[in-house]
Amino acid sequence: MSSSMWQGQYDSLFIGGEWVAPSTDTKLTVVSPFTEQPIATIPMGVEADIDRAVTAARKAFDSGPWPRMSVTERADVLRRLSTEMAADERVMAELITAEMGTPILHSVPIQAQRARLVLDATIEMGLNYAFDEIREAPTGRALVHKRPAGVLGAIIPWNAPHLITLYKLAPALMTGCTAVVKSAPDAPLDQYLFAEMAVRAGLPAGVLNIVAGDRPASERLVAHPDVDVISFTGSTGVGKSIATVCAGLLRPVTLELGGKSAAVLLDDVDVESTVDTVLHGALRANSEVCTTKARVLLPRTIASEFVDALVSKVRALKVGDPMDPDVYLGPLVTAAHRGRVEGMISTAVDEGATLVTGGGRPKGLDTGWFVEPTVFTGVESWMNIAQEEVFGPVISVLEYDTDAEALAMANDSKYGLSGSVFSADPARATRFATRMETGMVEVNGSPAGLAAPFGGVKDSGLGHELGHEAFDEFVKINSIGIPRDLEWPAG
């Protein structure tokens, strides 16, 4: 199967386990960030389509088999879904590269393979999740019972559409919830392929419903009276608006929002062995990643040496056709987004940062929404480039003198999503990491893995995805007082 088979004209939405006609004739055109030409048209979902999708999910939850299956039975279905995902992994990666510009070099491991690994890890954790737990105390004996929360409204961003869909769906489905996925208008095609995978895997009708739409569709989903929990990934401003609506409804919500993560190099690091990891942490997937560590904090004693090594490698990166396996940086997702990134580069120059390399559009690439990989030095914490999320291939270098100053600079952000620390002494780096005001930190590039919770603090969000903590977002709890002599199976 080729990714080109998933490009063209679509005329239906996935609701209630079927491909159904949309409520209106409004179309959404998907444009290639590389060729700037249309590659597909799909229906633009509106409020009425969201209503139909929620109705299907509500019916599937209230009277369908999915919430009533054992966790083992649900795991069997989701393992079949994982098999389908593995079979079309390359197709999924190529499709996401075509619709939003991430180089295939990154789409395969990040967009496609990681999504399947998330599902596999979640299945295994779900089989060990304590849906029933006996708790003993002198004052009584309780059965703490966790049941599925109900209908999930999942709002997906464009930058990692398939991966983030699985971040939300995997734990929700394992607990027995049903879902309405509202996909992003800038990258909706992958959801069509995913829906076909779900059908082939035997997911019961109505458990998964998918509608591509814009803000009105999202607003309807967030406020719909038959939705039980909302999970949103996107900008902090929109996340705060969603939180306000959910607060008024006393509706649980998880928010994975913006970031301005710092990569902190302590003064004992080896430059040669560190620079590649720092570069990848800052520029992978076009830097259109919420956890990108593009705010690089360097001890003044090694700053010049490190910047020279970093700039040399940045200038050697291949920019171009994102389907080329040798290309490291592709085009940004839209012309408007490129304009925003270019505006932030211009502001950094105006504020006094030193442009060392990049800053413009690559020569010879007149078509496509490209920005050169860019490095600024002389950046101060107050500057816009150090405080606001760029979401493009721009690295900001800040210098410090002491560990205490480095920690203060790392924490000088309204965001707190991710970060990294580098040191020849991993214990020293880990101690530093425990004092960073952020949800996730990598020591010497070590990933936390899929068993650890993923989530931020401050303006980076509420709640968690991944890990056992993810299941807690999709359950309701009954504390049931029971007789001392009642035998009840745990699990």
Pick the catalytic residue: 290, 342, 465, 473? Answer: 290
pLDDT of residue 6: 66
pLDDT in tens, 374-421: 999 999 999 999 999 999 999 999 999 999 999 999 999 999 999 999
pLDDT of residue 462: 97
Share the mean pLDDT of the chain: 96
- Phi and psi of 479, rounded to 5°? -100, 115
Q: Is the pLDDT of residue 5 over 80?
A: no
Pick the catalytic residue: 256, 372, 399, 473? Answer: 256
pLDDT in tens, 198-240: 999 999 999 999 999 999 999 999 999 999 999 999 999 999 9
CB 287 within 8 A of CB 296: no
Instruction: With cut-offs at 50, 70 and 90, classify the pLDDT of residue 292.
Output: very high
CB atoms within 10 A of CB 130: 13
pLDDT of residue 2: 62
424-452 CB burial, b ≥16 within 10 A, e <16: eeeeebeebbeebbbbbbbbbbeeeebee
Structural domains in the chain, CATH included, are 3-257+460-480 (3.40.605.10), 262-443 (3.40.309.10)
Q: Is the pLDDT of residue 491 over 70?
A: no
C-alpha distance across the termini of the chain, in Å? 41
> Does residue 290 have an active-site annotation?
yes
> Does residue 73 have an active-site annotation?
no
Residues in the chain, total:
491
pLDDT in tens, 347-356: 999 999 999 9
**Selection from 389, 32, 315, 45 nearest residue 185 by Cα:** 45
pTM score, whole prediction: 0.96
pLDDT of residue 489: 78
pLDDT of residue 46: 97
pLDDT of residue 7: 72
